[in-house]
Structure formats: C-alpha cells, structure tokens
Structure 1
Amino acid sequence: MGKILYLHIGKPELKNWIGKTEESAIGKKSVKEAFLAMGSFEGDGVAATEFHGGPDRAVCFYPAEHYRQWSSEFNKSIEVPTFGENISAHGMKESDVYIGDIYRLGEATVQVSQGRIPCSKISKNNQIDLLLKKVVQTGYTGYFFRVLEEGLVNEEAEIILLDRVQEDFSILEANDILFHRRNDVAAIESLIGTEGLAEAWKQELNKLLKQKN
C-alpha cells in the first residue's frame, strides 16, 4: 500500500477542556521508531479503556484524507495526530479496508479488528462541538489493528496488504450497521460472524440482537 506518513505514541495526561480537567492519551507525540508489542506500541497508553486499549485495539489508525475534509468543512486547520492515532496513510480509508485484513507494518504483522467507536474527546481536543456528530454520521472513525507478530516500526515503515480474508464488510459498512442500521437483524448477524472482528464489537452487536428478541 505504501508508507505510513507518521508514527505517534503517548501516555495519558491531564487535559483542560472547557474548564474541566480530564485524563486522555489523545495528545500523542512523534517518534522515529517504536517496538510494537502484542498489546500496543512500547511507550503508548490509553485512558478511556472502554474505547481504546487491549489486544484487539493495539494500534489506532486514522486515514490521512479526512484531515483535509474536516479542515475544509469546519474552516479550521486540523493538524495530525489530533484524533489520537498512532499511524496514518493515504489510500486506506474506511471504505478501502476490510475487517480481518492482514498487513505488514515495518517488521510487525497486524490485522484490522474493528472501527473506532469515537468519544467526545475528539470534539474537545479540536474545540469543535459538532465534530463527534459528523464523525459518527459519516463513519469516518478510523480503526484499530490487533498484532499478530511483534516487531519494530519506524516512521517510514511500509504498510503492505498481505491477505484479505473477506470482502463483505469494510470498516465503513460495519460502522454503518453499528451506528445507523441497528434494526437490521440480518446484517448484524452476518457481521458478528465475520472473521477477525473484535470481541468488543461482537458483544455490542449481540446486545442489539437480544433487544430484538
């Protein structure tokens, strides 16, 4: 697919948003290289464990193309990595990437596991109240990788598609089901059975099915 555009890691820190102090790891810093272990990049961390962290959410990716769109839509310069992502690249939007896709990332091997479920911190960090709503509406959430093989990743590492295990559910399609088609039982049942889907998503989708019974 090409090379990643940047590599960022960071630990949770206190942020002052609208006069309120919150802990967040959204403010990541650029690094030349980092070792990618099974759970995360060494030196990386999370605060909101309901949305981030764990083996299925070891690496956060946000498509580079969205930065131009959001900057234009809100008439404000939105700079990387303000969505809290670890890496980005061109040509890997939510519509281009499928759950279960396996990639080579530098010396590591990773697999797409789920779309990101965004929280209000992306609005707070960018000082744009409507940003979260727009991200959910469009499905431009970014997504997560799990680690299949550990390895060193540098800031110019190649990211190469090794295997596509299914072509039914892109990240964008999965986001659409979870956010907007919550009554579509057939689609929910099919998505649950998708190879590579994160356990957290399976649990959430199963909750939706139980509500229909």
Structure 2
Amino acid sequence: MHSVNIGSPTVSNTRSRQPTGIVKAPTDRIDVRAPGPVKGHSGVVGDFIGSAKHHGGDGQAVYAVAREELDWWGAELGRELPDGMFGENLTTAGLDVDGALVDEVWRIGTAVLQVTGPRIPCSTFAGRMQEKQWVKRFAARGHTGAYLAVLQAGSIRVGDAVEILERPRHDVTVPVSFRAAMGDSDAKERFRASAAGSPGLRDYILA
C-alpha cells in the first residue's frame, strides 16, 4: 500500500459550493468498517462525505486507485498528481486495480475488502481536477479505480501488502462494468451474461 488517505470537509469547486470530502490527505493508517447500506456514510473512519445522495454506503465504502494511474494522468496533464488526488482512500503500487474483477476479494492489513464496481466521474471530481472536459476525458480512458465493500473490519497501513483471496469465475473487470454503466452495448451484454455485481449494481447497469 503506497498511501492511505482521509478527507476533511472543504468547499467544492462547483456551482453549488457544497462541502465535499474529495480532497484527501495521506495518513499513516486508516480504520475501515462496513458503513451500512444507506448512502452518505464512508467505510473509512473519519472520512468525510459531502454528497450523501451519491456516495458512501456498503457498496462504496472505500475507493482505491493505482499510483501508476495517477502517474499516467500526471504525464498526460503535465503536472504531478499527489496521492489522494482522485479522492481515493487507498493509493496502491504494483497492483493492477483496473484489472480487478468485480466481486474479487482482497486482504489488506487486518481488513478484508471486496471489489464492488467502478467510480462514475461527477462534477465534484471535475471541480477538483480543474481540467477542461475532465469527465469526458476520464470516462474515455476508462480506468476508474475500484470501489470496495468492507467484508471484515480492520486497519490498513502504508506498506501493507494486498493479498487476493478470491477471484470470481466470470471475466467482468472494473473497466468492463464501467463501460456497461456508460451504455456500451457489448459491455452491457457481457455484464448481463455474467453473475457479476451486487443486485444494486446490476439494477443500475441493466436498468
């Protein structure tokens, strides 16, 4: 684990100017637990969520992004992107987060987490990045990082290894689920034919 990050309330760079927790600061350790099914609560103790309607809950308890992806975008944008820049709680190194299968199970530190699906870019993310056409560009890249559910509460520290405990039999990766959510017909049929995802994710994608 390259970095673990927690967000405090800041004013978003959007028209609403509502408080957001997307600005994350690195820390030595985070404690994670299942926040419950209702959105608005983070799985990371002390992590702030501003948009209770769209973020949080068991299916979006923790968010992970690969350091390598931040570096890719840094080269693309011509500026360094610090750990936590995408609002992620976990900045990994040496792990292909976007190659993860939906429903894959990881152990990190004393916590057990399950990959639940992709991050859908929003206006708050665009405001954070301050780049033209950011949502469109991020979606076109399709490497969204992964949302995670907490199956076993625990602590995660910088330097902890990510151990893959289980991989499902289907072949639906996080990017495939993202393309399906964005309306790509081939990805949607691939998702439909699999057993991937929670009932909530399946309803969202296949509706």
TM-score by length of 2: 0.86
Tell me the amino acid that sits aligned with residue 104 of structure 1: R
Aligned position for 1:203: 203
Shift, 1:86, TM fit: 0.2
Q: CA deviation at 1:115?
A: 0.7
Q: 1:22 to 1:72 in 2, by over 3 A?
A: same
Would you say how many aligned residue pairs link Structure 1 and Structure 2?
200
Q: Which residue of 1 aligns with 2:40?
A: none
CA contact (8 A) 1:139 1:175 kept: yes
Deviation at 1:179, TM superposition (A): 1.6
Q: Does 1:36 align with 2:39?
A: no
Q: Return the alpha-carbon distance in structure 1 between the equivalents of residues 150 and 188 of structure 2.
A: 30
Root-mean-square deviation (CA, aligned residues, Å) is: 2.1
Match in the other structure for 1:90: 93
Matched, 1:24 2:23: no
* Structure 1 residues 140 and 35: CA distance shift in structure 2, 3 A: same
Post-superposition shift, 1:85?
A: 0.3
SS at match of 1:121: helix
Question: Is 1:12 matched with 2:3?
Answer: no
| Residues 51, 116 of structure 1: 8 Å contact kept | no
CA distance in 1, matches of 2:2, 2:11: 27
Report SS of the residue matched to 2:122. coil
Shift of 1:95: 4.1
CA contact (8 A) 1:6 1:88 kept: yes
Q: Percent identity?
A: 20
- Give the unaligned 5+ runs of structure 1: 208-213
Q: 1:201 to 1:49 in 2, by over 3 A?
A: farther
Task: Indicate yes or no: 2:72 matched with 1:69.
Answer: yes
5 Å-filtered alignment, 1:49-198, equals 49-182=52-185, 186-191=189-194, 193-194=195-196, 197-198=197-198
Rate the CA distance shift 1:94–1:131 in 2: closer, same or farther, 3 A.
Answer: farther
Q: 1:185 to 1:133 in 2, by over 3 A?
A: closer
Instruction: Provide the C-alpha distance between the structure 2 equivalents of 1:122 and 1:42, rounded to a whole number of angstroms.
Output: 22
Classify the secondary structure of the residue corresponding to 1:7.
strand
User: Which segments of 5 or more consecutive residues in structure 2 lack a partner in the other structure?
Assistant: 36-42
- On the 8 A contact 2:34/2:151 being kept in 1, the answer is yes
CA distance in 2, matches of 1:93, 1:131: 23
Q: Is the 8 A contact 2:111 2:153 kept in 1?
A: yes
1:72 to 1:185, Cα distance in 2 relative to 1, 3 A: closer
Larger Rg: 1
Change (3 A) 1:53 1:203: same
CA distance in 1, matches of 2:27, 2:87: 14
